[in-house]
């Protein structure tokens, strides 16, 4: 009646099998299409700082948030699945200072404020990409940015902050975009709370 179950299951392999199945069947996209146009329910993520890889405590929080959104999706609510990153400057700056071996804020001035700010933006893009990959691996359903694109923007910023670049947004290509106009907030475009439709509920 039942298939035999191993006493030592390969849990990691099972997780990858589930992720592959969701991808092949376009499960998340089909869910969004199924609920499109229904009564809205919005969840604004209280995001992680894009400054280091996720920790276990971040994974716990994201698992709970994903569960909460899935519950409302099962009620048929249309959701935006808007992810974001906390891009507060201080902690990013502190880590860049450590990487450069700085011991005071005067070191930043001597290095060059514009150059230092560029490194901070690059760090945000690096860890926004990394955390996105980790969250996808966790199985969290969101309207994620492409990690490859985030890293491409980081590399363009490092190469020449004044160059123009084209990137793909939610509504199509966005061009020209001047690298030197990228703010930390722009690096995480889905962190913005403003939308054309008001949320029925906001939580972090």
Segment 144-166 shows an average pLDDT of 90
Q: What pLDDT, on the 0 to 100 scale, is given for residue 90?
A: 87
DSSP conformation letters of 38-77: S-B------PPBTTS---HHHHHHHHHHHHHHHHHHHTT-
- Confidence bin at 181 (pLDDT 50/70/90): very low
Q: Beta-carbon neighbour count of residue 193 at 10 Å? A: 10
Higher-scoring residue by pLDDT: 191, 59: 59
Residue 39 banded pLDDT, cuts 50, 70, 90? very high
Q: Is the four-CA dihedral 184, 148, 174, 41 of positive or negative sign?
A: negative
Q: What pLDDT sits at residue 179?
A: 46
**Distance from C-alpha of 104 to C-alpha of 109, rounded to nearest angstrom:** 10
Give tens-digit pLDDT for 71-112.
999 999 999 998 878 777 788 999 999 999 999 999 999 999
pTM here is 0.80
């Amino acid at each position: 009646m039942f298939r035999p179950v191993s006493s030592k299951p390969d849990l990691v392999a099972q997780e990858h099998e589930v992720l592959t199945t969701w991808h092949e069947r376009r499960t998340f996209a089909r869910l969004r299409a199924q609920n499109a146009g229904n009564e809205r329910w919005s969840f604004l993520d209280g995001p992680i700082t894009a400054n280091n890889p996720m920790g276990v405590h971040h994974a716990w929080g994201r698992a709970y948030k994903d569960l909460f959104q899935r519950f409302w999706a099962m009620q048929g609510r249309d959701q935006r699945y808007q992810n974001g990153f906390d891009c507060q400057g201080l902690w990013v700056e502190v880590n860049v200072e450590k990487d450069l071996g700085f011991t005071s804020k005067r070191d930043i001035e001597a290095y060059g404020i514009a150059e230092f700010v560029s490194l901070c933006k690059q760090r945000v893009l690096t860890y926004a990409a990394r955390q996105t990959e980790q969250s996808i691996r966790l199985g969290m359903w969101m309207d994620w940015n492409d990690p490859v694109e985030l890293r491409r923007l980081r590399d363009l910023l490092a190469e020449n902050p004044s160059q123009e670049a084209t990137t793909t947004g939610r509504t199509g290509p966005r061009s020209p975009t001047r690298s030197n106009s990228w703010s930390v907030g722009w690096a995480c475009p889905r962190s913005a709370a403003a939308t054309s439709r008001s949320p029925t509920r906001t939580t972090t």
